[in-house]
């Protein structure tokens, strides 16, 4: 009897459990060890979108993309160990929809069998809400504008995206809790941005224009848009702040060219078109807008046939509304703009919108220019908004013509300048030729005196009866040597000033030695000595008489350029040193002059340095020594052309660089010329 009572109690208990299983509002599933579905309630069938019969016999791995046989074995081991497990899962429902759920699997022993009771809680709405919030944050962080979430009660920052932190120079933690107005500068501190910000504020009342101050103290102009939203019964403000520094600089440049208003109007027109496409007008609003709009507006089909036009289009074209409806947009387009109009309509049919600049013709034949924004407003009907840009186009054409005229004037001025420079170079060359002729006169004076003495001596010897064949032979030899020396001087002079306008390669050291030999006698008479040193591989050679550097790894000091001009430039620098030394003679500062010349042969360049013990160059004059017509000499003693010409020759004609400075009380000039590979 006792055993029968127990049996009845268990049946009652199972009936109660079965009743609870069937009537439970939560999805419930009986699941076997290997994931097989043994039984489901109505809530589970509704959750997955299957019938109860369809679900029985399915496997849990087929309902979840995250489950396989190994995962099911792992779960079962944990259920046996702890009695139940809780986890998050994704389920694939009958229609392919993915749902997110939190599930609890509880171990149940039925006789000798062990199964699990799976309780499913659908958390997809919560997951969707969380994902939306995270997605919004990610979008805000991707934005190129600074975005702030503001608490309306006190105006303090609750969230700032990455762009906001970078633009203001603060970390997210530093920005949180600071009022947004903290960064806003008073209008008196806007500085150069003030006039532009004020004008923008007047032109666009929907935006706030001001200047913000960064953490480092710098100020930049911004455009702020403020929107409000309510979430979970709490109100929040979103401030989108855009750095408009580049835009203001653009405005400033355009204002100088008298096109700022046109550019601003174009931008505003584009905004009107965009907003117009977003609005859904009723018939009454549509008619009111079209009738009163200040800009010409038309409605057309995809072939350009007018459906409707406003009064502004009639006024600007001179046609009546009926004439425009029968003409169509292509009837207004000038012939040279037809291709642009056809391309724009092709783009419009493809993408639903297009923008293009066109030339139109009025009824009286007068031409004018528009900027057209056209977009589809309803099936097969397109709205075009026109902006009259005639003034802007005409200004652009006038500016283009002015630029062409200015370019032509520049070319003429450059040609004139080049002609004048050529004249100055020739004038300087003649002046230098005079200096060399003077040097030759110095060199001829001694042999001529010697010839006169020999002629007088032969007469005296003849009259004394001492004239012999040996004497005559000696006389002949000495006179020939003197004449050959004088002839060689003339040859050197002719070679130095031989006209040579071809680019050639030459040895800087050899040409320097040759030049100084021409000037040697003149320098000696002025009590000025010189030495030439060739430097190669940290070794210094005296090359005063001969520029030989046979043991130099870099070879000869070869460069390519215009030799004639190069020698003339060197002579100008040497004579400049002579004048500075003689000025020191006159002041009694030095008794002997000295010019040191160094030619350094490096792997990539030949470096020429000319140093003297003259007056040097004062710091205030050092930056001007190469300017044309600038001279440090007394009035009448210098033209200011020599060093200017030397710079032009070295840098423009021979591809080098020249610089000046002071060293050891005197001046020095350094010339750097790319070395020739030949």
> For 308-330, what is each residue's pLDDT tens digit?
888 889 999 999 989 988 988 99
Q: Residue with structure tokens 């409806």?
A: 325
Which whole-number Å values give the CA distances from 618 to 623, 629, 632, in the listed order?
Answer: 9, 17, 9
DSSP three-state, residue 44 = helix
Yes or no: say if 317 and 360 are a contact pair by the CB < 8 Å rule. Answer: yes
Q: Does this chain's domain 2-122 share its CATH topology with 264-388? A: yes
Element (H, E) at 208: strand 208-213
pLDDT band at 5 (very low <50, low <70, confident <90, very high): very low
By residue count, the chain amounts to 678
Give the pLDDT confidence of 534-589 residue by residue, as tens digits: 888 778 888 888 876 666 766 678 888 888 788 888 888 888 888 889 888 988 88
Asked if 277 and 353 count as a contact pair (C-beta separation under 8 A), the reply is: yes
Containing 487, the helix (H) or strand (E) segment is helix 469-496
Q: Is the pLDDT of residue 379 over 80?
A: yes
Question: In the predicted model, is pLDDT for residue 6 greater than 50?
Answer: no
Cα dihedral across residues 80, 83, 88, 93: positive or negative: positive
Domain 128-256 has CATH 3.30.450.20: yes
In CATH, which of 3.40.50.720, 3.30.420.10, 3.40.50.2300, 3.30.450.20 is domain 2-122?
Answer: 3.30.450.20
Q: How much is the pLDDT for 3?
A: 41
Q: What is the CA 672 to chain-centroid distance, rounded?
A: 32
Task: Please report the pLDDT score of residue 477 as a whole number.
Answer: 73
User: 518-539 burial string, b = 16+ CB within 10 Å, else e?
Assistant: bbbbbbeeeebebebbbbbeee
151 pLDDT band, cuts 50/70/90, is: confident
CATH architecture entry for 499-674: 2-Layer Sandwich (3.30)
Question: In the predicted model, what is the mean pLDDT of residues 77-105?
Answer: 89
Q: Which residue has the higher pLDDT, 483 or 435?
A: 483
Q: Please report which confidence band the pLDDT of residue 489 belongs to, taking 50, 70 and 90 as the band edges.
A: low
Task: Give 618-667 pLDDT, tens digit per residue.
Answer: 888 888 888 876 676 665 555 667 788 788 888 887 889 999 999 888 99
List alpha helices for 64-193, DSSP H: 69-82, 124-142, 162-168, 172-175
pLDDT value at 230 more than 80 = no
Query: Mean pLDDT over residues 323-340, rounded?
Result: 90
> Where do runs of H (alpha helix) occur along 239-337?
245-256, 260-278, 283-292, 311-317, 321-327
Which residues, in sequence order, are bridge partners of residue 217?
none
Distance CA 546, CA 566 (A): 19
Neighbours of 600 (CB within 10 A): 20
Tens digit of each residue's pLDDT (9 = 90 or more) over 276-311: 666 555 556 667 777 788 889 999 998 899 888 888
| pLDDT tens column, 94-133 | 888 888 888 898 888 866 788 888 998 887 666 666 666 6
- How many CB atoms neighbour CB 214 within 10 A? 13
Which band of pLDDT confidence, cut at 50, 70 and 90, is reported for residue 4?
A: very low
Residue 486 has pLDDT above 80, yes or no: no
pLDDT of residue 610: 94
**Domain spans in the chain, listed from the N-terminal domain onward:** 2-122, 128-256, 264-388, 396-489, 499-674
Q: What is the mean pLDDT of the chain?
A: 81
Q: What is the pLDDT of residue 611?
A: 95
Do residues 633 and 579 touch, judged by C-beta distance below 8 A? yes
* Confidence class for position 67, pLDDT limits 50, 70, 90: confident
Q: What percentage of the chain reaches a pLDDT higher than 90?
A: 20
CATH architecture of 264-388: 2-Layer Sandwich (3.30)
179-193, 417-431, 579-593: least confidently modelled range: 417-431
Q: Count of alpha carbons within 13 Å of 349, Cβ hemisphere only?
A: 10
Q: Which two tokens stand for residue 267?
A: 């931008």
Residue 499 has pLDDT above 60, yes or no: no
Best CA proximity match to 159, nearest among 171, 175, 138: 175
Q: Over the range 158-193, which residues count as b (16 or more CB within 10 Å of their CB) and which as e?
A: ebbbebbbebbebeeeebeebebeebbbeeeebeeb
Closest CA to 241 of 231, 251, 227: 227
Note if the pTM is more than 0.85. no
pLDDT of residue 422 exceeding 70, the answer is no
Q: What is the pLDDT of residue 36?
A: 92
């Amino acid at each position: 009897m006792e055993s029968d009572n127990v049996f009845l109690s268990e049946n009652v208990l199972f009936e109660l459990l079965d009743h609870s299983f069937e009537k439970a509002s939560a999805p419930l599933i009986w699941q076997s060890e290997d994931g097989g579905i043994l039984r489901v309630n109505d809530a589970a069938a509704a959750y997955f979108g299957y019938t109860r019969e369809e679900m029985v016999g399915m496997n849990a791995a087929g309902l979840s993309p995250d489950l396989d046989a190994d995962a099911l074995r792992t779960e079962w081991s944990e259920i046996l160990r702890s009695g139940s497990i809780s986890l998050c899962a994704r389920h694939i429902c009958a229609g392919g929809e993915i749902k997110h759920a939190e599930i609890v699997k509880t171990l149940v022993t039925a006789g000798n069998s062990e199964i699990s009771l799976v309780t499913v809680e659908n958390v997809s709405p919560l997951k969707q809400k969380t994902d939306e919030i995270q997605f919004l944050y990610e979008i805000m962080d991707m934005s190129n504008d600074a975005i702030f979430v503001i608490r309306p009660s006190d105006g303090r920052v609750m969230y700032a995206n990455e762009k906001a932190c970078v633009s203001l120079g603060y970390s997210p933690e530093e920005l949180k809790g600071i009022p947004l107005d903290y960064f806003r500068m008073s209008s008196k501190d806007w500085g150069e941005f003030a006039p532009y910000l004020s004008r923008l504020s007047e032109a666009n009342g929907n935006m706030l224009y001001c200047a913000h101050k960064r953490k480092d103290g710098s100020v930049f102009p911004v455009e702020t848009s403020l929107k409000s939203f309510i979430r979970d019964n709490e109100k929040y403000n979103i401030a989108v702040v855009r750095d408009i520094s580049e835009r203001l600089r653009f405005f400033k440049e355009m204002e100088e060219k008298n096109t700022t208003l046109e550019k601003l109007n174009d931008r505003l027109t584009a905004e009107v078109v965009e907003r117009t496409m977003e609005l859904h007008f009723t018939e009454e609003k549509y008619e009111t807008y079209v009738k009163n709009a200040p800009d010409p507006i038309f409605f057309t089909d995809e072939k350009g046939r007018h459906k409707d036009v406003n009064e502004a289009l009639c006024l600007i074209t001179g046609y009546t509304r009926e004439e425009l409806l029968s003409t169509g947009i292509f009837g207004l387009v000038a012939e040279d703009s037809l291709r642009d109009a056809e391309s724009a309509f092709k783009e419009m049919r493809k993408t639903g919108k297009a923008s293009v600049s066109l030339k139109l013709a009025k009824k009286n034949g007068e031409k004018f220019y528009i900027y057209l924004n056209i977009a589809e407003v309803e099936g097969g009907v397109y709205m075009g908004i026109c902006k009259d840009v005639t003034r802007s186009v005409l200004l652009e054409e006038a500016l283009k013509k002015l630029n062409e005229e200015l370019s032509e004037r520049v070319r003429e001025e450059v040609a004139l300048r080049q002609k004048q420079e050529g004249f100055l170079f020739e004038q300087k060359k003649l002046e230098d030729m005079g200096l060399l002729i003077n040097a030759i006169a110095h060199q001829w004076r001694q042999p001529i005196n010697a010839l006169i003495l020999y002629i007088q001596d032969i007469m005296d010897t003849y009259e004394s009866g001492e004239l012999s064949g040996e004497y005559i032979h000696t006389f002949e030899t000495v006179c020939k040597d003197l004449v050959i020396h004088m002839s060689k001087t003339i040859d050197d002079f002719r070679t130095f000033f031989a006209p040579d306008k071809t680019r050639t390669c030459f040895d800087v050291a050899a040409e320097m030695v040759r030049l100084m030999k021409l000037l040697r006698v003149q320098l000696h008479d002025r009590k000025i000595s010189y030495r030439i040193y060739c430097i190669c591989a940290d070794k210094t050679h005296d090359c005063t008489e001969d520029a030989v550097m046979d043991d130099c790894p870099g070879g000869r000091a070869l460069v390519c350029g215009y030799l004639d001009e190069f020698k003339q430039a060197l002579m100008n620098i040497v004579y400049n040193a002579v004048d500075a030394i003689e000025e020191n003679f006159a002041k009694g500062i030095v008794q002997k002059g000295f010019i040191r010349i160094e030619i350094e042969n490096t792997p990539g360049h030949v470096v020429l340095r000319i140093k003297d013990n003259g007056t040097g160059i004062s710091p205030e004059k050092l930056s001007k020594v190469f300017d044309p017509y600038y001279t440090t000499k007394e009035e009448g003693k210098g033209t200011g052309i020599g060093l200017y010409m030397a710079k032009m020759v070295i840098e423009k004609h021979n591809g080098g660089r020249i610089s000046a400075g002071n060293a050891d009380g005197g001046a020095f000039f350094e010339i750097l010329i790319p070395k020739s590979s030949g």
